[in-house]
Amino acid sequence: MPQTIVNPARLTPPEARALFREGLVTPTSGWSAGWTQANLIALPKEQAYDFLVFAQRNPRPCPVLDVTEPGEFAASLFGGDLRTDLPGYRVYRDGEQVAEVPDVLSYWRDDLVCFLVGCSFTFEAALLDAGVPVRHIEAGTNVPMYRTNRDCRPAGELSGPMVVSMRPVPAELVATAVRITSRYPAVHGAPVHVGDPGALGIDDLDRPDFGDPVEVRAGELPVFWACGVTPQAAVMRSRPPFAIGHAPGHMAITDARDSAYQVP
Amino acid sequence: MPQTIVNPARLTPPEARALFREGLVTPTSGWSAGWTQANLIALPKEQAYDFLVFAQRNPRPCPVLDVTEPGEFAASLFGGDLRTDLPGYRVYRDGEQVAEVPDVLSYWRDDLVCFLVGCSFTFEAALLDAGVPVRHIEAGTNVPMYRTNRDCRPAGELSGPMVVSMRPVPAELVATAVRITSRYPAVHGAPVHVGDPGALGIDDLDRPDFGDPVEVRAGELPVFWACGVTPQAAVMRSRPPFAIGHAPGHMAITDARDSAYQVP
């Protein structure tokens, strides 16, 4: 690397993971089309119970797709190595980000439980198929993500704001976008808000808290979906002694098909 | 009690819970139509993490709708008292059932975490609305439930077989029953099996492991749904030191609407 990936949408999950393991750092929206992508949050066993209850109480932002045994770094949904096969990681101590790194081998601990949390990239192929444009894929950038003024329901020591991702949608396609994404309840499902960033406490769409800004064109509305970076926002507020997350937008590409998370 | 309940379908959840608190013991299928019913499993905090992972790995039989803080006996979905407001409880020590009682006040412990788990009674009103008969409601008996030969994915110290409930469905309505119940993924969703009890390791439909047998008439197929008694089957096999469950079929009537668990 940096090598040019000609068509990342066509790579299988093992092929994509091999590139990330070799050091490629890139957002993964549009990669390995048809394969489910997931957020990662790894916490010491001591904090893992609180996280599972937090996720149960906040299923829109925190749909748990898989949980490892403590110290394990493969998962039933993810045949690769969770320590190396994502394209980017963030490491937190006492809620402060202390590193952003391409692998976490040197940070690994045997008491870590890894949670794979559903990601809205999962329904982007379905949006495109339905004729709904996805601006950050067109632009080749990372999806914009924002902390909101909506607090999650706390659990034990964990609390924090809901994080959302945003996609600008032409007004005449908003209903289509809602209908399509409603069919994927395990990967954030329908939007949590349409149209008014201020109502979510977002002052400036051009300054996302995570990822890159995108253009909202005339005739488009900003549409907001719950986002799996929410666990990292909870880590930042609640300050557990240690945590590892994916770098926002730099997801785990799993061995599950998008269709596995689609309801009729 | 025993008093005659003229039309239990019309009782509100608080009205039904008051009757149970006063000592009425009855299966709850058909009660408080439109209000979601739930299975109860209460475990010491020490075992609660394993149960949450078990539930995440086995979402068909174990969809968690709510989790209490340790020692709490109300839940956000259940305004009553979880120790008294169900119509029947089973108490387990080291996996052995040691009591079946109308309340658990004398067994309560401050380290207990209560899990409310989705119940297939939730979609029975929708089945009836679609013209699919529900035999145990017609008969005024408890739904038949069976241990199967399908093991759940274990988690930590917890393992056990999947339990299923059975409803006989006229062959021409099986597709309708599948379609309707698919819309309720959080309360067991679509059937796990149609037609052949032997394939699930069930030798004799007339001898359910829990609940009452029902008649399967000519032209009907037995249809099997995952059942929220599965956590109690795991307790019986895995033998945690202490657990409380609802008496099978004697559910927690919650303050949530059935429609809250319906997908489009």
Cis peptide before A185 (omega within 30 of 0): no
Report the distance separating Cα B23 and Cα B1, nearest Å: 7
How near does any CA of chain B get to the CA of A53, in Å? 7
Q: Do A67 and B53 touch (CB under 8 A)?
A: yes
Tokens of B110: 């401050």
Tokens of B131: 């013209």
User: Taking CA atoms, what residue in B is nearest to A75?
Assistant: B57
**pLDDT, one tens digit for every residue, chain A (264 residues):** 455 667 899 999 999 999 999 999 999 998 999 999 999 999 999 999 999 999 999 999 999 999 999 999 999 999 999 999 999 999 999 999 999 999 999 999 999 999 999 999 999 999 999 999 999 999 999 999 999 999 999 999 999 999 999 999 999 999 999 999 999 988 999 999 999 999 999 999 999 999 999 999 999 999 999 999 999 999 999 999 999 999 999 999 999 999 899 876
Q: Residue B263: its chain A contacts at CB < 8 A?
A: 182-183, 185, 263
Q: What is the pLDDT of residues B197-251, one digit of tens each?
A: 999 999 999 999 999 999 999 999 999 999 999 999 999 999 999 999 999 999 9
Q: Do B52 and A57 touch (CB under 8 A)?
A: no
Q: Which residue has the tokens 């047998």?
A: B213
User: Taking CA atoms, what residue in A is nearest to B182?
Assistant: A264
Q: Residue A57: its chain B contacts at CB < 8 A?
A: 67
Q: What is the pLDDT of residues B45-56, one digit of tens each?
A: 999 999 999 999
Q: Where are the beta strands (DSSP E) in chain A?
A: 35-44, 64-67, 89-93, 96-101, 112-118, 145-151, 161-170, 193-194, 220-226, 242-246, 252-257
Residues 6+ away with beta carbon under 8 Å from A174: A194, A221, A223
Going from the N-terminus, what domains does chain A have, and what CATH number goes with each? Answer: 8-119+237-261 (3.40.1640.10), 121-226 (3.30.2040.10)
Q: What is the ipTM of this complex?
A: 0.82
Phi/psi of residue A184, nearest 5 degrees: -120, 60
- In the chain, the amino acid numbered B17 is R
Tokens of B232: 């109690």
Tokens of A115: 């949670």
Q: Residue A155: its chain B contacts at CB < 8 A?
A: 67
